[in-house]
Amino acid sequence: MTDAAKNTSGPSLTRVPEMGSAPIGSAAERRLAELWESTPGWRGRLSTVDHKVIGIRYLVTAFIFLLMGGVEALIMRLQLARPDQTLLTPEQYNQLFTMHGITMIFLYSLPVLSGFSNYLWPLMLGSRDMAFPRLNAFSYWVFLFAGIFLYCSFPLGQAPNAGWFNYVPFSGAEYNTGPNIDVYALGMVLLGISTTVGAINFIVTLFRTRAPGMSIGRVPILVWGTLTAAVANVFAVPSVSLAFFLLWLDRQTGTHFFDTLNGGKPLLWQHLFWMFGHPWVYVVVLPAMGIVSDALPTFCRHPLVGYSAVALSTMATMLLGFGVWIHHMFATGLPPLALSFFGATSLVISIPSGVAVFAWIATIWLGRPVFNTAFLFFAGFVILFAIGGFSGVMTAAVPLDLQLNETYFIVAHLHYVLLGINVFPVVGGIYYWFPKFFGRMMNETLGKWSFWVMFVGFNLGFFPMHLLGLLGMPRRIYTYAPHMGWSTTNMITSIGSFIFAAGILIFIVNLFVSLRRGSPATANPWDAPTLEWAVPSPPPVYNFAVIPLVASRHPLWEDRIDEGGGRSSLDHGYLLMEGRETIGTTALDAIPDVILKMPEDSYAPFFLGLFNALLFVGMLLHWPDFTALMVLACCVSLAVWMWPRKALLQRVPDYDKGAAHG
């Protein structure tokens, strides 16, 4: 059963009457609800392809992994708070340190942003679902099972233990004989499947399912950020998946890709890993920057300054991001010419990032800021972004990087970039879109408490790590001697980490309190300008009863700002109600092209994800018969998924192009 098929038979397209006529009736809305609702109970939970449900699942699952990674970090900070601690053995510390990195970088940072984008993209773009709903569900199930696969090794004492960077030869069979690294290698290949199919879905969704009139220059910056990250993932994830697969072959079948004694190259691992690893930094940052670029103007009561410059800088950042991977390899003995080229690129990449910072500051300066919780998180993010950016420029200088490499200065920079620049926009985004998600407002008092505790705790916990690095404390050590002079700074860092954790706890308490007792939210409680606020809170299962016609970048602010291009029509567009349908539009100008008949709910994505995960379990445990059985089960699940049914694509015969542009 395919997500899309082509049919040139007559379409079922109804134009809702022009402005001033009666809006769509309740009977049509009931019909749409019947078409789009999932089966109640556990059957519906396993088979649903609703992007809103999948988005919330991503958010919740990613936050659970965030909490798990946070607990791992706190245990490590207890170990490092004082010299000569024996809370953990070296092997326990290695496993904890590695799983913390894997969790925060791969199981939290991108999936939580995928949660926002899965939920919000169709609403922002004026569509009823993602382009490939079943593929969307499949990507979530594979992500979940990959996380479980990795964490099942923890209770058995066989968790990955060579660091999240997993450098060879330390991760090779000659130095690491247990199954620890095999778990990591196979788990990352499995997770790469989820990331890749999710990226493809985002790309097609943007270029084919925007509302009529939403030209490429009218999409929100969050869409630009996620699109850029998705395109990067399509090119970057195969690199790291190949690296882990080659390592697994070295360990299990006797190949020698990374074995120096047999003609292999250990540096090949670093090249493949960091060809993925540095673009990944921007993959987990650019969508977060998009959250700020879309939400901050709402609280400033002013459109984002320099929209076009920010959109272009988003793409430029990722393009340059593919040219800085040797930034991580300055100390590996590469030729000076290569170091100078990649050092220069690492400096230049700060320019497009700076464009976004100046745009946010200008938006605040020219607007009338409302100092609520969400605004505080976004403003705090700008400060943390500047600190992380400055330390990044410092390490881009080759001579300085040679001194700072492998010290706690790099740990500080990493946490400002991957934690501060990700967590603060994410928490601010949850405060901003929580009314849309659940129809209730979050508590502002608890929200402001959570911000200040998190902001103080974060800077108290991670800024002193810069000083530790300058004092010579190396990374990846589990204890240190009293005479090294690091004791006081480590104690301050550990205290700050627990304060930051307390702020996260206040935020979680606020979430549960607001879910039960929060004030009911209207459709647009913030008076926001973008399309997702045009529907009720929470949205109906079909998103838009009428596919809207968009004529500006801020369709809900057209009465107060003059953008040119005419007026949008949010209640008198196109009504599609003969099955699950949405409009497909052209890539650049969003001119209606086809009627996309969306697939029904299906168990196939769940079972295909489950059997994929079990296939990797069979490979890990060396069960060839079980592995072959899972391959067969995957083929059957895919056949059920793709089984032909009625045509899913119809041409739109007559469309008044002027109407979509106002």
Res 20 pLDDT > 50: no
Structural element, H or E, at residue 574: strand 569-575
Tens of pLDDT, residues 153-180: 988 889 999 999 999 999 999 999 989 9
Helix (H, G, I), strand (E, B) or coil at 390: helix
How many Å apart are CA 111 and CA 88, to the nearest integer?
A: 30
Beta strand segments in 478-530, E: none
What Å distances lie between residue 403 and 203, 287, 397, CA to CA? 41, 32, 10
Measured N-to-C along each axis, helices 180-208 and 221-253 cross at an angle, to the nearest 10 degrees, of 150
Determine if the pTM surpasses 0.95. no
547-549 vs 569-575, strand pairing mode = antiparallel
For 21-38, what is the mean pLDDT? 77
DSSP code of 129? S
Averaged pLDDT for residues 96-102:
96
Residue 22, pLDDT score: 36
Report the sign of the C-alpha dihedral through residues 101, 103, 108, 110, in that order.
positive
Q: What is the DSSP letter of 218?
A: G
Backbone φ and ψ of 485, nearest 5°: 85, 20
pLDDT at 154: 87
Pick from 377, 201, 199: which is nearest to 291 by CA?
Answer: 377
How far apart, in whole angstroms, are the C-alpha atoms of residue 200 and residue 310?
23
Categorize the per-residue pLDDT at 534 as very low, low, confident or very high, splitting at 50, 70 and 90: very high
pLDDT at 662: 32
- State the sign of the Cα–Cα–Cα–Cα dihedral 644, 648, 649, 652: positive
Residue 9 has pLDDT above 50, yes or no: no
The token pair at 308 is 């076009």
Residue 130 clears pLDDT 70, i.e. is over it:
yes
Tokens for 202, please give them. 């985002």
- Among the listed residues 4, 198, 214, the one whose alpha carbon sits nearest the alpha carbon of residue 116: 198
- Burial of 388-425, coded b for 16+ CB within 10 Å and e otherwise, reads bbebbbebbebeebeebbebbbbbbbbbbbbbbbbbbb
Enumerate residues 6+ apart whose C-beta is below 8 A from 290. Answer: 220, 221, 222, 223, 224, 225, 226, 314
- State mean pLDDT over 125-140: 96
| CA pair distance 76, 498, nearest whole angstrom | 11
Strands (E), 116-211: none
**227/224 Cα distance (integer angstroms):** 5
Q: What is the pLDDT of residue 24?
A: 58
Residues 6 or more apart in contact with residue 647 via CB below 8 angstroms: 5, 6, 7, 9, 597
pLDDT tens string 455-484: 999 999 999 999 999 999 999 999 999 999
Q: What is the Cα–Cα distance from 291 to 222, expressed in whole angstroms? A: 5
User: Is the bond leading into 111 cis (omega within 30 degrees of zero)?
Assistant: no
Q: Which residue has the higher pLDDT, 429 or 579?
A: 429
Report the pLDDT value the prediction gives residue 157, as an integer from 0 to 100.
Answer: 87
The whole-angstrom separation of Cα 181 and Cα 184 is 5
Rg of the chain taking only CA atoms, in angstroms: 25
d(CA 144, CA 62): 9
Q: pLDDT tier at 566 (50, 70, 90 boundaries)?
A: confident
Burial 54-77 (b: 16+ CB within 10 A, else e): bbbbbbebbbebbbbbbebbbbbb
| Predicted pLDDT of residue 110 | 94
Name the H helices within 109-132: 109-125
Q: b vs e for 117-155, b when ≥16 Cβ sit within 10 Å of the residue's Cβ? A: bbbbbbbbbbbbbbbbbbbbbbbbbbbbbbbebbbebbe
- Residue 7, pLDDT > 80, answer no
Element (H, E) at 86: none
pLDDT in tens, 377-415: 999 999 999 999 999 889 889 999 999 989 999 999 999
Give the residue among 325, 318, 327, 331 at the shortest CA–CA distance from 276.
325
**Residue of 108, 118, 122, 153 whose CA lies nearest to 139:** 118
Quote the CA–CA distance of 311 and 513 in Å, as a whole number: 37
**Number of helical H runs and strand E runs in the chain:** 22, 6
Q: How confident is the model at residue 361 (pLDDT cuts 50, 70, 90)?
A: very high
In whole angstroms, what is the distance from residue 404 CA to residue 100 CA? 22
Average pLDDT, the chain: 91
pLDDT tens per residue, range 581-612: 999 999 999 999 888 989 999 999 999 999 99
Q: Is the pLDDT of residue 108 over 90?
A: yes
CA 38 to centroid of chain Cα atoms: 26
Residues 311/318, Cβ–Cβ less than 8 Å: no
Residue 319 pLDDT exceeds 70: yes
- What is the helix (H) or strand (E) element at residue 594, kind and residue range? strand 592-597
> Which residues partner with 574 through β-bridges?
15, 547
What's the chain's length in residues? 662
Nearest to 288 by CA among 422, 402, 466, 405: 422
pLDDT band at 643 (very low <50, low <70, confident <90, very high): confident
DSSP string, 251-292: HHH---SS-GGGT--HHHHHHHHHHHHHHHHHHTTHHHHHHH
Instruction: Name the nearest CA neighbour of 229 among 383, 117, 78, 305.
Output: 117
Per-residue pLDDT at 19 exceeds 50: no
**pLDDT over 70, % of the chain:** 93
Amino acid at 83: P
227-237: b (≥16 Cβ within 10 Å) or e: bbbbbbbeebb
Residue reference for tokens 């935020």: 507
- Measured CA to CA, the distance from residue 304 to residue 300 in angstroms comes to 9
Task: Indicate whether 254 pLDDT > 60.
Answer: yes
pLDDT of 654 reads 53
Q: How far apart are CA 236 and CA 511, in angstroms?
A: 35
* pLDDT at residue 21 is higher than 50: no
